[in-house]
Structure 1
Amino acid sequence: MNRTKTFLFFLTLLSTVAPLPLAAQIDEETIQHIDSYVNVNPDSAVILCNNALAQMPAKASSHKSYLLAIRGNAHFTLGNNAAAIADFKASFRAAEEVADTTACVNALSDLGVTYRVNQQTDSALICYKQALAMLQSSDSPDLEASILTSIAVLFANQARLDEAVSFAEKGLEKARLTDDIQTQIYAASSLGSALFLAGHHERGLQTQRYIIGVAEKKGIPRYMLKTYAPIIAMHNRLGHPDSVRYYIDRGNAVLDKVPEASVESIGFLEQSFVILTDMGRYRESLDIQKKILAMQDSRPFIPLDRLWQRIALNYKGLGDIEKMDEAYQTAIAIADSIHQSDINDQISDLNIRYHTAEKELAIANLQAEKSRRDTIIALITAGVIIASLLLIIYLRARRRKIEVENIRARLDGIEQERGRLAHELHDGVCNDLLGIELTLAAGRCDTGELSEMIRTTRNEVRSISHELLPPRFNGLSLTQLIAAYAQKSEGFVSYQPSAGAIDIDPEKSINLYRIIQEWTGNLRHHSTATCATVSLAESEGEITLDITDNGAPFDPSAVTSGGLGLENLNRRVKALQGTLNFFEKNGTNHISVKFFK
C-alpha cells in the first residue's frame, strides 16, 4: 500500500467509523456493529476492537472474549496469523474464566482454523477435540457446524475423503439450522470440494455453483473469492479451459478488494499458479509463487513441500535445472519434517471419539499441566531435602565415630600411661625403697648414704607425680609447660621454642605434651642417649613437633609390641589425626609428629 492509498484509507476510516459508546454501553449490538467491519474493512475492525477493549474493565467477561475473537478474525482476514492466534487464545482464556461455553467453543473453532491454515495440523486437531467435547452438553448448531466443517477440511487435507464428506454433510446440516450466511457458505463450499475430490464431480460442481450464487448475491468479495478457487480447480481437473478462464477472470476482478495476505487471496492465487503451470506459463506461475512466499505472515493452503515441488516444475519448464534441483531439495527437507503418521493417528482418534460420543478430552487442560509441574517441582524439592538430611545424618554419624575413636584412643592412652607408670614405680621407686630397707636391716647407719638414697627416691616420686598431673591444671600455656618440663629434666631435655606464639586447643595440647613426656622418658630410661632436643613450630595451620637425640640409631620396625611405649605413642598421634615419622640425619635420631590445628 503506497502513501497515497494509505492517506485515502485513513480519510475513509475517519469518515466511516462511528464513535464507540461508553464502556457501560458496550453491549451485544455494539459488538455486532464492530463485527460487521471484519469482512468489508478489517483494519477498521481492529481499530474499533482496540478502542472498545481499552474502555472495558480489566477483568474477564463474555463481551471481552467476543471482542478479542472479532479482532482475531480481522487479523486473520488481513493475513496476520500470529496476531490472530494470540487474540483467539486470549478470547478462550477470557471465556473460560467466566464459564461461557459458547464463547469458548467459538474461540477454539477460530483458533483451530488459523492453526490449520498455518499447517499446524496437530494444534488444530487439539482445538477441534476440545471444542467438540464442550459442545456435547450445549445446543449451538452454528458453532457445531463450524467445527464439523473445519474437521472435514482437515480430513480432506489428509486425503481421507469419505470421512471428509461425512463431516462436511453433517456440518452443512447443522448450518442450515442457523441464519448465519457465512457459516452456510463455509459448510457448503467445503462439502462441494470434498464431494468433487471423492469422485462425485457433478454433485461437487452443483454445490459449488449454488454457493457462488449466494456469495455474489450477498456481495462479499472475500467469500466470492473463497468460492472461485475450488470451482477453478474442479474445472481444471475436468479439462474445461473455458470455465477455468471464466472463473479466474471473475476472481481477478475482486482480488484487489480482499487483503492480499488473507486466506481467500492466497487460496485463489495458489489455484491460479497451478493453472498457469498447466498452461505452460511458467514465469507467470513462478511470480505468483514467489509473491505468496514473500507475503509477511502468510501461510499457503497447500503443504509447503508440495508448493516447492510446483516451484521446481516451473524452473524445469524454464530450463533452469540448478534452481529446479534446489527447489526439490527444499521440498524434500520440509517433507521429512512432517510427522504424517502421527497426524493420521490423531485424526482417526478424533473420528472414533466423535462417533462414539466419548466425552473425555484428549488433551490436558492448563490446570492439569500446572498441577503436573507443581508435582514434579515438589518431588524434586523433596528429593533435595531427603538427600540433604541423609548427608547431615552421615556427617553426624561420621563425626560421632571419630569422637568415639578419639575417646577410645584417649582411654587406651590412659591405660598405657598407667602401665608405664606402674612399671616405673615397680622398677624405680620400689627398688629404691627396697635398697633403703636392706641398708637399715644390715645395720649400716651411714646417714649421708641414706639421705642420698631417700633424696633420689623423692625426686623419682616427684617426677612421676608431675607426669600424672594433667597440664591444664597448671594454669600454664603449652610452650611454658614444655619449658618447665625441660628445666626439671636435669639437663637431659632442652627446648627450642618457636618464633611466634602457638595456640593449640587444650585437648590436643595434652596429647602433644604426653607424647613429649612419653618419648623423652623412654629415651632417658631405655636408650643410650644423653640429651634430647624438643622443638615446636607452626606453618599455615600445620603443627610440627620434632624431638632429636644423640643415642644409638633407632629402628621402629625392630621393636616388639609395646616396646618403648610405641603403641601408646601411635595412639596419641592417631587422636591428633596426625602423622608420625622416625628418621636419622647427620648421626642424630629424629621423631617428627605433624598435624593440623
Structure 2
Amino acid sequence: MRSLLLTGLLLLTISAGCPSTKAGPVSDFPYALQIDSLAEISFAEGDMRGSISLWLKAAEIADRCAATEQDSLNYSGFLQSLGVCYRRISMMDSTLYYYNRAWEIIRDKTSPAAFSEKTRLLTSMAILLTFMGRDEESMQYADRAMAMAENTTDMEMVMYAATNAGGIYARNGQFEKGTETLRTAMAKAGESGLPDKQLSALTMIISLHFLSGQRDSAYFYMNRAEKFAEELPEKSVAVLGFRETQAQILRQMGRYAESNAIYRKLLSDAYENSSVREDAGWINIARNYADMGQWNNAAESYENAYSALDSIYNADINAEVSEWSAKYGAAEQELEISRLEQESLRNRTALQLWIIIAVVLVAVLAGVVLTTVFRRRHQKKVEELRLAQKYIDGLEKERARVARDLHDGVCNDLLGIGMRLSAMRNGNTGDSSGSTSGQDTAAQQDEILSMLEGLRSEVRTISHDMMPPQFNLSDIEEVMEMYTGRFRSQTSAEIGFNASITGTRTWQQVPERIAYEVYRIFQEQMGNIIRHSGATRIEAALTLTDDVLSLTISNDGQAFDPAASKEGIGLTVMSERAKTIGAVISSSTSGGSQEFRLDVPFGNDK
C-alpha cells in the first residue's frame, strides 16, 4: 500500500510540475532524473509495475530531450531498468525490446560511463539467459560483462557484474572461478556498506557453497544473510533473490513444507515482481509434494509448470533472444574490426614515425662520423706538419751544435796548427835571436802531431754522435756501454755505467724504436751534464724488468735548466722523444746530487 501511495503521489507531482512538452531539453531533462530516482525507490521496494510506469515516463522525456552524451547514457539506463522490470514480471518480449533499444544508444560509445552502461546491459542479458535456461550463452555474457567492467570506474556496476557472474559460474560448475569473482563482489559490497549489495553477494556465495557440496558453509552464510534481509523491504530484488536460494536449500535439507511456502509466496507475485522462473518454481513445488507423498498436489504443480513452460519458451521469444545475441555478436565483430583498423593505423603511424626518427638519427650519425673523420684527417695532417717541423727544428739545432763544435773545437785547433806551421816556415821559434834549433823544431812537430791527433779524435767523436746506433748489430745495453766508454775519454769526470735485468725480458727484446729514443735521450743528458753542471762524477744505470725500462743518471754537479740553455736540443726535444714512446721524465735533487730518471712502460710490446 505504501508503494502504491508513493507512486500515485509521484505521478501527481510530475503531472502538476512538468513543463509543457514544447519546453526545451534543458528544462525537461532534470525531471526525467527525478523520476528515475523515485523509480529506483519503487524498484527497491519490489513494486515492479509502479517502477515501470515511472521509467516509461522518464524514457519518454529522455527520448525527446536528451542533448548530451550523458543524457543519452541516462536514457539507456532508463530503458535497461524497464527491461529488468519486465523480466521480473515474466514479460520477456518487452524485456528484449527495451534491451535492444538501450543497446542501440550505447553500442558506439567508449567513455567510462558508456562502459558502465554496457557492463550493466551484458549482465542483464546473462541473467535473462540464465532465467531461460540457456546456460552456455549466459556464461559467455557473464565473461563479456566482467571484461567490460575492467573499463569502468563505477564500483556499483563492477559489484553488480561480479555478483551475478559469480552466481552464474557456480551454477555451471565453475566453482573456483565463481569463488574468485564472488570474493571481488563481496569486498566491493563491504566497501559500499549497502545492505542490498551485501545481501546479493552473500546470496551468490550461499549458492556457490551449496552447489560445491560445502553445506555447512552454505548454512552459515544463510544465517548471516537473514540479518541483512531483515533490514530490507520483503519485496526488494535482493531479498527475493535470497528467498529463492533459501527455498532451494530448505528443499535439500528435507524441509519440504517450508520450501513450498517460500516458492508459493514467490510465485504469487510472479506477475508483479518475480525472482524465480515460473516453470522452475512449480517443478520444485511438485517435487516437494512428491517427496512428502502428496501425489495429487504434485500432479497439479507439474501441470502448472508445463503451462508456464509454454509461455517462457515461446518460440518467438527464443527467436528474439537469438536475434539479439546475433546482433550483439555482429556488433562485437564490427567493434573488433574497427579496433584492429585503428590499431593498424596507430602501428603504421608509429612505424612511419620510427622510420623518420631512424633516418634523422642515421643522418645525424653520418654527419658526426664524417665530421669526426674529416677532423681526424685534419688533425693528422696538422700533427704530421708539427712533427715534420719539429724534425726540421731538431735537424737545424743538431746542425747548429755540430757547427759550434766544429767552430769552437776543430776550427780553433786547425787555426792553432796553421799558426804553428807558419811560425816554423818563417823560422820563428819565439826567441829574440830568431834562430831555430833542431831540437826545438822536433818539439814543435811533436806538438803539431799531438794537436792533429786531438783534432782527429774530436772529429771522430762528432761523427759518432751524429751516426745513428746500429741496433740490428748490438742491443741497447751494448750501444750505451760503448758510448760511455768513448765519453770517458773526452772528459776528466769519473763516469760509471751499470746495466741490470730483473725478470724474463732480455735486452734483445727491447723494441728498436724505444731503444733508439732512450739512447738519444741518454746521449743528450750526458752532454748537458758535462757542458753545464761541472760534475766530477756521473753514474748511469739502465734497468730492465718485464714491464718497464728505466734509465737513471745522477751527478754531483750544480743544478741547471736544460730548457733555458742554448746548447744541445734541450729538455723540450728530450720530452718530445719521451712522449713518442710513452715514457715519463722526472728529476730530483738530494744531498747535493742531481738525478735524472726516464721510465718507459712496455705495455703490450715484446
**TM-score of the two chains, using structure 1 as the length reference:** 0.50
Structure whose alpha-carbon radius of gyration is higher:
2
